[in-house]
Structure 1
């Protein structure tokens, strides 16, 4: 059973953010010391990183469900919750990340390449962070934002300079075993190679990689046999080498027919027409095969191919073939333009960008508000808390959502959708240029506690003065009890 996997579907779940805490400081002689709820921690993210030591996606085949750690909730005494640990998954070089519908998210080539595939949710703010001069003691906190969750398809496309193309049992595995240190499985039956094999070839001062991939048969471009697995791994190859079996006894097979069949499948797959080709006619150690190679060589050269007659058994012709591979690889690398370091371009937000849009859904006639901030605010709102709902309404009004809804023609009672939440629009605030924020969330207990504390302090001071000697009190010694009663009434 092959232990190589080059395509998997991952079910990813980033960590959720921790909820903020609602807490009021309690201390002796300070019955109402103000809000001290801490913030929730951020959820962990899921990232992919290229590791040269990893050569297969086999681990994800057996464990396709991946979830990062959630953030911890905040606590009293201004204690913030811990952030969830980020989860880093190691993938092979050449991994392509895409959505189930085929949209490419990242093409990961090069050791250390990192891609954040699922971002963790933000932690909610505690009531200490939500307090201000108007909202002195908020009785609510923000909820943690859910982490992203998605299905991602990982496809491994081998990164090699030269790809060996040929029918099953044409001698591709034997060729890579004699020109490099690779040790692929070799046997005298078709489809011996079920997984790609990579080998490193050194010719003088040139070093390049060669990929031996599963054999190709007619219909491979439509998925027949191991066709798609074969073709996927030659997409990145800069040079293609047709390995032709000149000693085959199968009816209807000859070097010219094999070349035509291979080129037909490559053209159907697409995207490989610009790759330079070499033709290696293999097994010329067999007398009939050598004669056949001499016969078809002129016809192949007329088509523009460079032809090499080789034998992996006797190693005849391999030196010339490897030098030709090295030359084409060097020319291809030299033709690649030098990529300059990307310059950072700062694009400020337009002055007329409100940060959200409002559209009418023709299905249910709902007004749909789309935007990063309003959708995030809705996710972080606890709708079981009236004060939190009022805070959300104030934020949306300051952003201009209510004003734009009115301009879009929304009437009281119309359905409004923000993110996953739906509301019956009941405008209770004036949202215009003269809009003044309300004092939602202000706790009147602070003012009452302050008044009681001031009265108690004045009463204690007057009692202290009555207990002092008369000569120290002076004219202030004559203090009536009626004044104390007035203070208590205040």
Structure 2
């Protein structure tokens, strides 16, 4: 049964915004008291939060589909819908969030660090919020926006100060078990360690973490063996410790060759050239191991390595090694720049930035309008309501979409698509959309809310309509 997972694909979906309500206030002796439709609630966000009590992504391996709750629709009497509840997902410290193309979206390090993986949809405005001096009684409301849905990849990169690297069965698990209180699996066959093991070491006044990660073999940087599953976990470490087996039973191996092979894999992986290295000649409690250590130590020191001899079984050389690592970790921590307080970066828009673009798509033979506002307004529009469509036309016209279409060469009857190719609203453009009210008359004014006309006025209007000669022509002309 899988107990440790350090890479998962997660499908997140934020909550949809609730629809606004179109309602007219009614009460005794005042049947039409004006619009009172409430706004829809906001959809819930999907939020990743670092929790140091979580050490694996196993939970998301078993249930990779996560969705926040939707916002509730508005109601009459100016009652707004309830907001959707945010979905908080706890992840381990050191989790990297990537999109499907491998681009890094966030690097979550430190307790409480958050990242909004899915933004909840906005709630639609009710007709009470849409009313104005020109539009006294809107007969429509805005729809809620759909929540953001996307696929992300979570990768766990172990957060440790020291990484033990080396061939399988070099003794890394044994070393971490005696240097710290960690209890990794130890056996005399290769690839005993299949998951990273973390331990906490105290040396004097310095406390640091040490990671025992899966062993390397030639070709690991290209994914052979445990490959990248290993290398991912050494990226954050401040110092690399080469654990060399001086008592290997394999005739075609020797410690110096093992070191060269591992260094070549680290070089091909990249990004680790600046990390200090220490070499530990392990298993010197065995006579042949001590003899081999004495032979190769001068060569390693000539290369510039700081060399230690150790034995996890006989507990030899452990104190010197732990204090040497503590000194290097302390220097690395001191060299790191102090974390600055969170700053708000303001990037003002260009003066000539209209917030949208108009590009002619030759393949589809349409003028494609892209921009946050136009696309959001389209999502909020109920196209079954003519008044709502006219309101959308007014908004697009005020934004300058019609002027931009004219400059781009669009003519009456040309196709216009608002949105992406996968989810666009396409219509035939008519440049006479200067004000949607012209198409719908006095849109937004409910004549039922006005004072009734006197009976005499109603009779005069009927007589004038009956005596209108143009009306008689329209009714009886066969053409």
TM-score higher than 0.5: yes
Please state how far the C-alpha of 1:380 moved relative to its aligned partner: 0.2
Question: Equivalent residue for 2:5?
Answer: 5
Question: Equivalent residue for 1:297?
Answer: 297
Q: Is the contact made by 1:283 and 1:310 (CA closer than 8 Å) also made in structure 2? A: yes
Q: Secondary structure at the match of 2:300?
A: helix
Question: Equivalent residue for 2:445?
Answer: 443
**Residues 1:429 and 2:433 are matched in the alignment:** yes
**Residues 1:271 and 2:271 are matched in the alignment:** yes
Please state how far the C-alpha of 1:342 moved relative to its aligned partner: 4.3
Question: Equivalent residue for 2:471?
Answer: none
Comparing 339-348 with 360-369, greater Cα deviation is found at 339-348
| Residues 303-354 of structure 1: CA deviation (Å, up to 9, x unaligned) | 1111111010111111111111111111111111223324434343333221
**Residues 1:374 and 2:379 are matched in the alignment:** no
Please state how far the C-alpha of 1:251 moved relative to its aligned partner: 2.0
Q: Secondary structure at the match of 1:224?
A: coil
| Residues 404-445 of structure 1: CA deviation (Å, up to 9, x unaligned) | 1011100111111111211111122348xxx99997522342
Q: Is the contact made by 2:387 and 2:440 (CA closer than 8 Å) also made in structure 1? A: no
Question: Equivalent residue for 2:20?
Answer: 20
Question: Equivalent residue for 2:467?
Answer: none
Please state how far the C-alpha of 1:10 moved relative to its aligned partner: 0.4
Q: Is the contact made by 1:42 and 1:122 (CA closer than 8 Å) also made in structure 2? A: yes
Q: Pairwise mapping of residues 227-306 of structure 1 onto structure 2 (< 5 A)?
A: 227-306=227-306
Question: Equivalent residue for 1:322?
Answer: 322
CA distance in 2, matches of 1:394, 1:23: 22
Q: Is the contact made by 2:157 and 2:233 (CA closer than 8 Å) also made in structure 1? A: yes
Question: Equivalent residue for 1:161?
Answer: 161
Bigger Rg, which one: 1
Q: Is the contact made by 1:391 and 1:440 (CA closer than 8 Å) also made in structure 2? A: no
Q: Secondary structure at the match of 1:387?
A: helix
Question: Equivalent residue for 2:469?
Answer: none
Q: Is the contact made by 1:94 and 1:108 (CA closer than 8 Å) also made in structure 2? A: yes
Q: Is the contact made by 1:2 and 1:195 (CA closer than 8 Å) also made in structure 2? A: no
CA distance in 2, matches of 1:157, 1:358: 43
Across the aligned residues of Structure 1 and Structure 2, the Cα RMSD in angstroms comes to: 1.9
Please state how far the C-alpha of 1:488 moved relative to its aligned partner: 8.5
CA distance in 1, matches of 2:247, 2:442: 88
Q: What TM-score results when the alignment is normalised by the length of structure 2?
A: 0.92
Change (3 A) 1:445 1:438: closer
Please state how far the C-alpha of 1:226 moved relative to its aligned partner: 0.8
Structure 2 residues without counterparts, runs of 5 or longer = 461-479
Please state how far the C-alpha of 1:61 moved relative to its aligned partner: 0.3
Q: Secondary structure at the match of 1:210?
A: strand
Q: Is the contact made by 1:2 and 1:194 (CA closer than 8 Å) also made in structure 2? A: no
CA distance in 2, matches of 1:159, 1:340: 20
CA distance in 1, matches of 2:411, 2:158: 59
CA distance in 1, matches of 2:362, 2:109: 44
Q: Is the contact made by 1:394 and 1:438 (CA closer than 8 Å) also made in structure 2? A: no
Change (3 A) 1:437 1:206: farther
Q: Secondary structure at the match of 1:259?
A: helix
Please state how far the C-alpha of 1:487 moved relative to its aligned partner: 8.3
Q: Is the contact made by 1:134 and 1:439 (CA closer than 8 Å) also made in structure 2? A: no
CA distance in 1, matches of 2:288, 2:15: 66
Change (3 A) 1:397 1:56: same
Please state how far the C-alpha of 1:367 moved relative to its aligned partner: 1.0
Q: Secondary structure at the match of 2:451?
A: helix
CA distance in 2, matches of 1:287, 1:2: 40
Please state how far the C-alpha of 1:157 moved relative to its aligned partner: 0.3
Please state how far the C-alpha of 1:22 moved relative to its aligned partner: 1.2
Q: Is the contact made by 2:180 and 2:199 (CA closer than 8 Å) also made in structure 1? A: yes
Please state how far the C-alpha of 1:36 moved relative to its aligned partner: 1.0
Q: Secondary structure at the match of 2:452?
A: helix
Structure 1 residues without counterparts, runs of 5 or longer = 456-484
CA distance in 2, matches of 1:362, 1:173: 62
